[in-house]
């Protein structure tokens, strides 16, 4: 969770600049650390996510990009963030956290 500031606080006086990923975290609430997960592991998790998407009763087919439409995918938030369906508790997600 991003740091919380009271409405009465002066943000310019309380925000310390670090010159690294912490500045993005403070400003955006998240950070992208490139190269932290090796490419082969990232692709493994991506493939597992695509397999998960294929478990829904729709016409989504990983091998047919023309089926990758809103109608064939479960409801998502901000371009593919799945906050419902217990997605955060799928096995591959827990593996990625380790």
Same domain, 50 and 92: yes
Same domain, 48 and 26: no
Same domain, 70 and 86: yes
* Per-residue confidence (pLDDT) for residue 18, from 0 to 100: 93
Phi, psi for 77 (deg, rounded to 5): -125, 130
Of 5, 4, 87, whose CA–CA distance to 49 is shortest?
Answer: 87
**pTM, two decimal places:** 0.62
**70 phi-psi bin (left φ>0, alpha ψ -120 to 50, beta other):** alpha
* Per-residue confidence (pLDDT) for residue 39, from 0 to 100: 92
Residues of the domain holding 68: 39-97
Same domain, 44 and 84: yes
* Per-residue confidence (pLDDT) for residue 5, from 0 to 100: 56
* Per-residue confidence (pLDDT) for residue 6, from 0 to 100: 59
Distance CA 94, CA 89 (A): 7
| Ordered mean pLDDT values, 10 residues apiece, the chain (98 residues) | 57 76 89 89 90 88 90 76 78 85
């Amino acid at each position: 969770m991003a740091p919380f500031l009271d409405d009465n606080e002066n943000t310019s006086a309380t925000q310390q600049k670090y010159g690294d990923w912490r500045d993005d975290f403070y400003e955006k609430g998240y950070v992208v650390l490139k190269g932290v997960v090796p490419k082969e592991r990232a692709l493994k998790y991506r493939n597992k996510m695509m397999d998960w998407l294929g478990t829904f009763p729709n016409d989504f087919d990983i091998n047919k990009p023309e089926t990758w439409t809103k109608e064939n995918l479960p409801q998502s938030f901000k371009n593919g963030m799945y906050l419902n369906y217990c997605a955060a508790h799928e096995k591959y997600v827990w593996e990625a956290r380790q």
